[in-house]
Amino acid sequence: MLTDLRQIFPNLASLPYRRTSSPTQQYNCIAWAMNDDTKWWEPDPLGWMYWPNGSARVATLSSVMAMFRNLGYSNCASAALESDYEKIAVYTEGNRFTHVARQLADGKWTSKLGDLDDITHSTLDALAGQAYGKPAHFLRRQITLSAASATIASWQPWPPFLDAYQLSNCARAPRLPSAPSPQPPHPFHRPPHRERARSRCPPSACRAGRDRAAGGCVSSSC
C-alpha cells in the first residue's frame, strides 16, 4: 500500500501533484535534483555513500550548499522559471537542510521524498510545512552541454561491497507506516536501528570480512 503523502505534506490535499515513480531507496532528493536515479547521495563521514569529490562530508546546510556550488550552481533571487537556466530549491527548517526540489521545463517541480516516491508538484508550497520547513534558497545553473557533461562525469559507480550492504537486513531503512501518521522522510539515509544492530550481532554472524566495527553485518539476527 502506498503511503498517503497528504498526511506528511498537508498542502498536497489542496495543491495538485502527481506520483511519478514507485517508492525506492535507490536514490534520494539530492541525487534526483542532480538528475541521478542510480545512487543515494549523502555526505556520510565513512564514505560509504556517494558524495561529489572535493565537497566536505558533513551533513550540514552549508556543506550541501557548497556541494551544489561546486557543481556549477549559484544563488539566485527567486524560483521564477528562466529558460536558459536549470533551478533547484533548497528547503530548510531553521538552519537545517531538509529537502531539495528540481524545476522542470514547464515551471513545475519534481521531488524525491526520502525513500518514498518521486512526485511532480505545481508549486514549492506543496511540500512546505512541518516536515520540510520552507523553500529558503534558490540556485541556478546555465543549461549548457558542458554543464550536463560535468554532472555526468562526477557520477561514480557504487563500491562493490555497498550493493551487498544496501541489500542486507541491517541496511534497509524502516518502512514508513501508511496509517495513522507517517513520519516525514529524511533527506539522508540513516536507519535508526543500525547502531543497535552492530552492538548485538556476534562476530561469528558477520560474513565476507565485514565485522561489527565496519557496520556491514548481514546477519538475519539483526
| Predicted pLDDT of residue 132 | 96
Residue 161: the pLDDT is 34
Residues 71 and 96 in one domain: yes
**Residue 196's domain spans which residues?**
160-214
Q: Got the DSSP string for 132-153?
A: TBEEEEEEEEE--HHHHHHHHH
Confidence band of 3 (pLDDT split at 50, 70, 90): confident
Number of domains within the chain:
2
Is there a single domain that holds both residue 187 and residue 208? yes
pLDDT of residue 155 exceeding 50: no
Let me know whether 146 and 173 are in one domain: no
What is the grid cell recorded at 23? 517508492
The reply to whether 220 falls in a domain is no
Q: Determine, yes or no, domain membership for 219.
A: no
Mean pLDDT of the chain: 77
In terms of DSSP H, where are the helices of the chain? 5-8, 29-33, 61-70, 145-154, 160-167, 194-200
Other CB atoms within 10 A of residue 145 CB: 7
Whether 222 is in a domain gets the answer no
pLDDT in tens, 33-62: 999 999 999 999 999 999 999 999 999 999
Q: Which three cell numbers stand for residue 156?
A: 561514480
pLDDT tens digits, one per residue of 92-131 = 999 999 999 999 999 999 999 999 999 999 999 999 999 9
Q: Which of 108, 128, 154 is the last residue of a domain?
A: 154
Rounded Cα–Cα distance for residues 42 and 115 (Å): 13
Residue 197 has pLDDT above 60, yes or no: no
